[in-house]
Amino acid sequence: MFIVNVEGAIHLDGKWLMIRRSKKEEHAGGLLSLVGGTCEQEGNSADILERTLHREVFEEIGVEVENLKYVNSSSFVSDSGRHVVDIVFLCHHKSGTPYAKSTEEVDEVVWMTTSEILNHEEIPRFLKENIKLAERVLHEMQMK
């Protein structure tokens, strides 16, 4: 049916953590993106989206995140024709210095402001929309 993918919009000190996906990656290799990955089949389990995101962020860039807040969901068809449901969470950096821990998946870590992301020609429209939505959720949290 669907692959379920989760991504983290990690925010710290006015910047978003972006990764440049490894050129070895099947989908969107070499492009800037949010960090994340796919849910594994577990049978009956709880909090699979959140646990997957925590695991993927740590495996790919070596940091821990906290305060996950739902941003949005979408669907797309991957380069290989697989149907994907993608869920984005706003995350706050908890600990660790991000680096390309999983070189099979990540070529580099880049911190960017919202403005830099929205004005970057290489970043796809859907990612810019995700950042705008994450920025809105962040602002709403700060207003409380």
Q: What is the pLDDT of residues 10-43, one digit of tens each?
A: 999 999 999 998 766 666 566 899 999 999 887 7
Sign of the four-CA dihedral 115, 105, 23, 82: negative
pLDDT at 78: 83
pLDDT at 128: 97
Alpha carbon distances (Å) from 17 to 73, 78, 110? 19, 23, 6
Spatial contact of 137 and 90, defined as CB atoms under 8 Å apart: yes
Task: Tell me the pTM.
Answer: 0.91
Tell me which residue has tokens 């796919």: 38
Alpha-carbon gap, residue 11 to 27, rounded angstroms: 24
Alpha-carbon gap, residue 39 to 4, rounded angstroms: 6
Q: What is the pLDDT of residues 47-64, one digit of tens each?
A: 999 999 999 999 999 999
Alpha carbon distances (Å) from 94 to 48, 98, 109? 20, 11, 16
- Spell out the domain ranges in the chain: 3-143
Q: What is the pLDDT of residues 55-109, one digit of tens each?
A: 999 999 999 999 999 999 999 998 788 999 999 999 999 999 999 998 888 899 9
Please report which confidence band the pLDDT of residue 46 belongs to, taking 50, 70 and 90 as the band edges: confident
What is the architecture, at CATH level 2, of domain 3-143? Alpha-Beta Complex (3.90)
Mean pLDDT value of segment 2-7: 94
